[in-house]
Structure 1
Amino acid sequence: MSQQHTEDAMHIHRLSQLVQALDLGIIILDQNLHIQLWNSFMETHSGLRASQVKGQLLTEICPEVPREWLQRKVDSAIQLKARAYSNWQQRPYVFHFTSSRPITGQAPAMLQNITFIPLSELDKQVRQVCILVQDVTELANQLHQANE
């Protein structure tokens, strides 16, 4: 194996570890909303393993996610080649996960900020979108307490 090939393989391995270790949900969808990647944050909070959901329609795996809304967000990210967002003040959650702080928190569900990131391929075409799911429950609770 060449030195460059070994370095490339190590780089990919590190990136894979990072994707799994982040305290952030990471989903990659194709343009038809089929799941291509589902990281460990999503496994932990959904109770579904990546091997169970890969290739499945996201809105069938998570029926609480409004399909038309999701398709608009994905289409927008793909067509404009720009990020799209949803924050907890507009839509408290996209994925109905229980709060990660059930004892100290006031929210019964995890409040989420969502980012839709277009992913370009080698030919510069965007055919997939990465969805980042950020748990902002604690931040929202702190903001609520500060406003009281």
Structure 2
Amino acid sequence: MTSVLLLCFLMPTLVPWYLWSETLWNSFFVCVMFRYIFALNSTWLVNSAAHMWGYKPYDINIAPVENMPVAALTLGEGYHNFHHTFPWDYSTSEWGWNINLTTFILDQLAKIGWVYDRRYATRDLIEKRKARTGPQASTYIAHEHEY
């Protein structure tokens, strides 16, 4: 709790005020409150947009979707259909580093030993899940009942 108060509220207020002669109010409202509100709204945007607009290549039976604009804006957090289908996959995407800064950072930290035991979905598992619950599965089932 102390580190949150220090790093999120006190330091961003006092550094511009003391070092750059900014007013205390401007330091607090711009560097603390604006940043805090912006970060919260960005998080909520991911959770809203990535559950509403997009496509569902892995599981059509759940609400989360793949939303490429969200993935681009958040550097990898828009791959929600994959993330909810394979929640234990560390990269949250089958695409590796493709617009996914988090996966890149984790891979770099793994090279120096700071991250280990990364779990990921194999290509075979992904393809089997797509065949079972993806959009083509519903097409297959619909054709199966026509006969």
Give the TM-score normalised by the residue count of structure 1: 0.32
- Greater C-alpha Rg: 2
Structure with higher RCO (Cα < 8 A, 6+ apart): 1
Structure having the higher helix fraction is 2
Give the TM-score normalised by the residue count of structure 2: 0.32
Structure having the higher strand fraction is 1
